[in-house]
């Protein structure tokens, strides 16, 4: 999720239905690059980070704490533009006042609401599946706490026992556990989980999208055969928590503006001194 998507994502979550306490970013949201805090970091990673900040700056990091809204927004952002996914999200929350209403509506009505974002039927099914799975988890957690039994004894209506749909539990979990919790939902992979944790909750996850994957591969930070999913774990080990938000957003900017998939503009690239692809290509050309 790049800066544009982040902006769209913030627009989504500003419109979330439940006021939430803002999450705390793990690093500074603005200000100078904390390169000094990089004890033990690979010097090459530190130089790349520094150059990215000098070139693209430090983007604002304003997580709003709405992880469930962030998860639905991230599902809607798949395979479409930021603008269209933001529109799809806005229409969805306008037509359905709660996530429970989204879960229980006929799937074709959800698909109608999000049609502008593309792949409407698939995304509608995916969203409802996630919400149903979340319902089951929350019911199980509630039952484990004994709330269900108490409610039964009190002879309360079943509806009153239903847990509210929320992912608030993630706020108190360490990064790895929060990631694991999200990966347990159908259709949620490492990138989606990392986007939710980074952008909604301010946890130092590191989403690897197509730009981040391509650029880090060319730089030689990950191997040429490493999958995007596997790259998440490797890059988490290389990039300090307080740099991850900036580095994610700036690498996407770099991939869009200079390190294109076809014909990267290496002569204008501020990272070329540390780029494996550049030096390999140069060496081959001079033979």
Q: Which residues sit at the interface with ligand SF4, rule CB under 6 A?
A: 215, 218-219, 258-259, 264-266, 269, 271-272, 275, 277-278
Choose between 98 and 280: whose C-beta lies nearer to ligand SF4.
280
**Residue 198 parent element (H or E):** none
Per-residue DSSP letter, 21: P
Choose between 26 and 258: whose C-beta lies nearer to ligand SF4.
258
Choose between 6 and 217: whose C-beta lies nearer to ligand SF4.
217
How near is the Cβ of 191 to ligand SF4 at its closest, in Å? 21
How near is the Cβ of 147 to ligand SF4 at its closest, in Å? 53
Centre a 10 Å sphere on the Cβ of residue 19 and count the other Cβ atoms it contains. 8
**Set 6, 123, 191, 203: catalytic member:** 191
Beta-carbon contacts of 215 under 8 Å, excluding residues fewer than 6 positions away, are 251, 254, 255, 259
How near is the Cβ of 52 to ligand SF4 at its closest, in Å? 10
Could you tell me the CA-to-CA distances from 22 to 54, 82, 185 in Å, in that order? 28, 23, 24
Choose between 185 and 277: whose C-beta lies nearer to ligand SF4.
277
Q: Which two tokens stand for residue 251?
A: 């690498």
Cβ-defined contacts of 38-47 (< 8 Å, 24+): 38/240, 38/243, 41/238, 41/240, 42/238, 44/221, 44/274, 45/221, 45/238, 45/239, 47/273, 47/274
Choose between 87 and 272: whose C-beta lies nearer to ligand SF4.
272
150 is catalytic: no
Beta-carbon contacts of 30 under 8 Å, excluding residues fewer than 6 positions away, are 58, 60
The distance of Cα 96 from the centroid of its chain, to the nearest Å, equals 23
How near is the Cβ of 246 to ligand SF4 at its closest, in Å? 17
**Residue 35 parent element (H or E):** none
How near is the Cβ of 275 to ligand SF4 at its closest, in Å? 3
Residues marked as catalytic? 191
């Amino acid at each position: 999720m790049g800066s544009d998507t982040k902006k769209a994502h913030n627009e989504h979550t500003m419109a979330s239905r439940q006021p939430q306490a803002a999450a705390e970013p793990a690093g500074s949201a603005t200000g100078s690059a904390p390169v000094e805090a990089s004890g033990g970091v690979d010097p090459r990673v530190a130089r790349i980070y520094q150059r990215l900040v000098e070139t693209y700056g430090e983007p604002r990091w304003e997580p709003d704490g709405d992880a469930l809204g962030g998860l639905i927004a991230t599902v809607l952002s798949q395979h479409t533009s930021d603008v269209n996914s933001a529109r799809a999200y806005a229409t969805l929350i306008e037509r359905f006042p709660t996530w429970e209403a989204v879960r229980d509506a006929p799937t074709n009505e959800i698909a109608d609401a999000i049609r502008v974002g593309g792949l409407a039927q698939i995304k509608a099914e995916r969203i409802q599946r996630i919400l149903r799975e979340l319902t089951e988890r929350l019911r199980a957690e509630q039952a484990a706490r004994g709330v269900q039994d108490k409610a039964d004894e009190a002879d309360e209506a079943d509806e009153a026992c239903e847990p509210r749909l929320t992912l608030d539990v993630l706020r108190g979990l360490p990064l790895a556990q929060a990631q694991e919790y999200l990966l347990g939902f159908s259709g949620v992979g490492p990138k989606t989980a990392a986007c939710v944790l980074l952008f909604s909750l301010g946890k130092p996850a590191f989403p690897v999208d197509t730009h981040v994957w391509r650029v880090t591969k060319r730089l030689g930070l990950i191997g040429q055969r490493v999958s995007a999913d596997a790259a998440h774990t490797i890059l988490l080990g290389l990039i300090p928590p307080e740099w991850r938000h900036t580095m994610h957003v700036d690498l996407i900017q770099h991939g869009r503006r200079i390190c294109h998939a076809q014909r990267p503009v290496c002569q204008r690239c501020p990272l070329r001194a540390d780029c494996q692809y550049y030096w390999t290509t140069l060496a081959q050309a001079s033979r």
